[in-house]
Structures are given as structure tokens and as C-alpha cells.
Amino acid sequence: MGVLVGIARHAFPKAPMELLDAVDVTVEGGLHGDFRGAVKPGGRGKRQVTMMERVDWDAAMGELGHTIAWQERRVNLLLDGFDIPQVPGTRVRIGAVELEITVECDPCSRMETIAAGLKGALTPDWRGGACSRVKVPGRIAIGDRVMVVES
């Protein structure tokens, strides 16, 4: 079992990331106020909520010799003590919210503008995180427990 240690959102593409202590999460809109969470007409919401492991961010920073804040990765959730399942369809519960892993969150070329080599440092073994869709809505907060939902 892990813990939610970071929540971030951005209101529009390339907007600064806003750190939060808690946020509502909906099936229709993902994290409240995050532009990427809204399911477009005919869409499947594969990228509603993104998450990564603190240990992976720390490893990337160690490789590059940087101490860049995790939210610069532009993912929504930072998890500690939890190994994100690399199996699409797996459900993860954070507090009362359930998210379904959909795909790996591949690091984009924008990572290179943050630090040379960052895209490559986030590429192996899903180190850049995972994308998910909301299956059970609710409110999440820093300190919430994170676990795989057993089927």
C-alpha cells in the first residue's frame, strides 16, 4: 500500500502546474480544473488522470544530477511507496476514487526543455508514469492511501 504525496493540475495546455492539497475527481472531467481530464465527445478518456511514482522521479533526477520539482513532469498525481501496475485495465484506488490504468505516460519532447536528457531518463520501465480513466468519482487528498483494487 502506498500514499498520495502530490496533486497537481493545469487549466490549459502549457499552463503552470498548480499544486493542491485535495481535489474532486469526476468521471466526466477527471481532476476538477485540469483541462486534460474532460472526456471529449466520442472519446474514451484514456488520459484523464496521470500519475507517477516518487521513486522514479527521484531516480531520474539522480541520473541527471538535478533537483527539479516533480510537478514539472506535468503529471497529476505523485505516489510514494506504490509500484504502479504496468497492466492496462488494472484499477487503482486512491482514497475513495478508483482509476483504471490505460497506457504508459510516455515522456514528451517538452521534458528536454526542462533538463537535457530528462525524456530519456523517464523512458525506461514506465518511469514517466501511467495514464488512467476515472471509474469511481470522489475526492482525493494528500495522505490518502493508494492500493490496487482486487477483482
% of the chain with per-residue pLDDT over 90: 80
Domains of the chain listed by start with CATH number: 2-148 (2.40.33.20)
Residue 112's pLDDT is 87
In the numeric block, the cell 506535468 is attached to 74
Confidence of residue 151 (pLDDT cuts 50, 70, 90): low
> pLDDT for 109-122, tens place per residue?
888 888 999 999 99
Residue 108's pLDDT is 82
C-alpha cell at 136: 469511481
Residue 5's pLDDT is 98
Angle at 107 (CA atoms; ends 106, 112), nearest 5 degrees: 160
48-70: b (≥16 Cβ within 10 Å) or e: bbbbbbbebbebbbeebeeeeeb
Residue 28's pLDDT is 92
* Rounded distance between C-alpha atoms, residue 49 and residue 26, angstroms: 10
Instruction: List Cβ neighbours of 122 (8 Å cut-off, separation of 6 or more).
Output: 56, 60, 73, 107, 111, 128
pTM of the model: 0.94
Closest CA relative to residue 34, chosen from 2, 68, 77, 96: 77
* Rounded distance between C-alpha atoms, residue 61 and residue 97, angstroms: 29
Confidence of residue 53 (pLDDT cuts 50, 70, 90): very high
% of the chain with per-residue pLDDT over 70: 99
